[in-house]
Each structure stands twice: as C-alpha cells, then as structure tokens.
Amino acid sequence: MTLEEIKQSCQKARELMKRSRAEHFAVGAFNVDNQETLVAICRAAQNLRAPVLVEVSQGEVDAIGLSNMRDMVSNYKKELGLEIYINLDHSPSVQAAKAGIDAGFEFIHIDVSQANHDASDEEIIGATKEVVEHAKTTGALVESEPHYFGGSSNLHTENINYDEIKKTFSTPDGAKKFVDATGIDTFAAAIGNLHGKYPVPKQLDLELLKQIRDAIECNISLHGGSGTPLHFFEEAAKIGVSKVNINSDMRYAYRVTLEKVLKDNPTEYAVPKLMKEVISAVQAVVEEKIHAFASSEKALI
C-alpha cells in the first residue's frame, strides 16, 4: 500500500467508528493465529456483510510478520469485497506500535502496562502520547488504557474472583483524565471483561459503562470478549461501545474441532482437507459475535 492508500483506509476506519456510535453497533476485532483463522473471519464478514477488524498481537506478529499480515488482509479485502481493517493488539512498546503504523495498520493498541505491569502512570502516558503523535503520519486510530488489564487469551480452569477484578475497573474520572492526557482515539474500558475463557460466564457492569460513556468523547473498546453472554454485547453496543475483541472463543473452537478431525481421520495427511471443518467452526463463532454486535449488513464496500 502507498502512503496515500494507507491514509485513505485509516480515514474510512475513522468513519466506521463514527457510524458505529451513531447507529449503535460494535465492530468485532477478531484475532488471527494463522491463515485458516483469517479465512474464517473473512468468510463470516462476507456472509453477513459486516465490517470487521482482524488483529494480531506480538506473538502473531513474530509468527506472521507485519508486512505479510498487511498483504494477506489487502488481498482478501479485494478478492471477497470486504470492509476489513487491521488492529495491532497489545503492542508492548512504542517501537513496535510505530512499526505497525508504518506497515499500514489502521488501528494500533499501545499497551505498555501489559509488557511491564509495574509501569508508572508517567511512563504509560508518555509512551501513549508518542504513539499518538506518530499515528498522525497515516491517521491510524490509537487505543490504550491507564493500567494493566488481567487474564490471558487461554482456557482458564479457575473461577473469576470479581472482588479482585473490581479493583482494576475503569472509573469515569480516571478514563477522562487518561483520554485528556494522551489524546487517544479509543479507550479500552475495564468493566468486568477479562482476557481468556473461564468456567463461569463473565458479568459486565453496564451501569459503569454508561458512566464512562458519558465522561469521554472518544471511542470505547472492550477487550476479553470471549466467554461473555451475548446479551451484554447487545447492550454495550446500544450504550456506545464501538469495538469488541474476541480471541479465546475462536481458539477453543479451532483446537477442539481440529482434535476431533484428527481423531476421525487418522490416515489423512493432506492439511487442507483436514482444515475445512476447522475453518467452518471458527467462522460460526465469528458469525455469532457479529450478530450480537449488531454489525451485520453494516459494511460499506
């Protein structure tokens, strides 16, 4: 992509976030582990005519590469006729975030506290401001939060200790101060959402979300969407959440289905034949979330 093409795509991404607020839908940000998960996301978006974000964090960047990711998404966008953008999720450093901006990613999440749980407020704000300034070169939207967000994108066996989790909830005043100090485009709110898939359903504090929505003007995202009852997403979109991240639910469907396919086909070694059912299972997860986010039929091609 040329710099001008990147700027145009970033402007369209900004317009999508405005539409999501005005029309009360949220856009799914779905993690890509490999080409199979990317295909599943793209097919779901095509089938439901939904705008989507695909996202990679540092582990996937190391495995796939920034430029390769940009090229693959651009190719599927053109081939299938999609409204699709890329989010660099949980970028651990200013350098890594800048690399994502330079590669043409439309959304950048700078998360210094994820890499360093002991990072000070000054360090987090300073790093975020530097990324916001660099993002002006392309118009990429920058997302961040003022403190560490717990959990991990895995299958957890422990219950959720909400007494502890509530200590890390966002506050309306804290959100406003952070947004004002950094100039970010998207605030990653903590209202009971938690990374990973747990044996108990997650509970979102929607009243707190309303207060945060009233306190700040920028977009709001929810990380850790997996394992959340769908009605919470429906209400969150109505309140004004523009972006919801989904990862663990997809990975769970991928692995469980792959284990079944391998067991059912012990003599099959052609990988593409083994992956058809896996792709369909992940696609079903993505489509379920798109319906809950009310983003079907919202794509502008």
Question: What residues are annotated to the active site?
Answer: 89
pLDDT tens across 70-122, in order?
999 999 999 999 999 999 999 999 999 999 999 999 999 999 988 888 889 99
Annotate the chain with DSSP letters as a single string: --HHHHHHHHHHHHHHHHHHHHHT--EEEEE-SSHHHHHHHHHHHHHHT--EEEEE-HHHHHHH-HHHHHHHHHHHHHHHT--EEEEEEEE-SHHHHHHHHHTT-SEEEE-HHHH-TT--HHHHHHHHHHHHHHHTTTT-EEEE-SS---EEEEE--SPP-HHHHGGG---HHHHHHHHHHH--SEEEE-SS--EEE-SS-----HHHHHHHHHH--SEEEE---TT--HHHHHHHHHHT--EEEE-HHHHHHHHHHHHHHHHH-TT---HHHHHHHHHHHHHHHHHHHHHHHT-TT----
Length of the chain counted residue by residue: 301
pLDDT at 203: 83
Instruction: Give the model's pLDDT for residue 47.
Output: 98
Q: Are 213 and 202 in contact (CB under 8 A)?
A: no
Burial of 45 per CB tally in 10 Å (0-12, 13-18, 19+) = buried
pLDDT tens track for 177-230: 999 999 999 999 999 887 777 767 778 999 999 999 999 999 999 998 888 999
How far is it, in rounded angstroms, from Cα 15 to Cα 202? 31
Amino acid 274: pLDDT: 97
Output the pLDDT for position 154: 66
pTM: 0.93
What pLDDT is recorded for position 162?
Answer: 76
Q: What is the pLDDT of residues 157-184, one digit of tens each?
A: 677 677 777 788 899 999 999 999 999 9
Dihedral (Cα; 163, 169, 172, 174), 10-degree rounding: 120
User: How far lies 157's CA from each of 6, 69, 95, in Å?
Assistant: 42, 32, 35
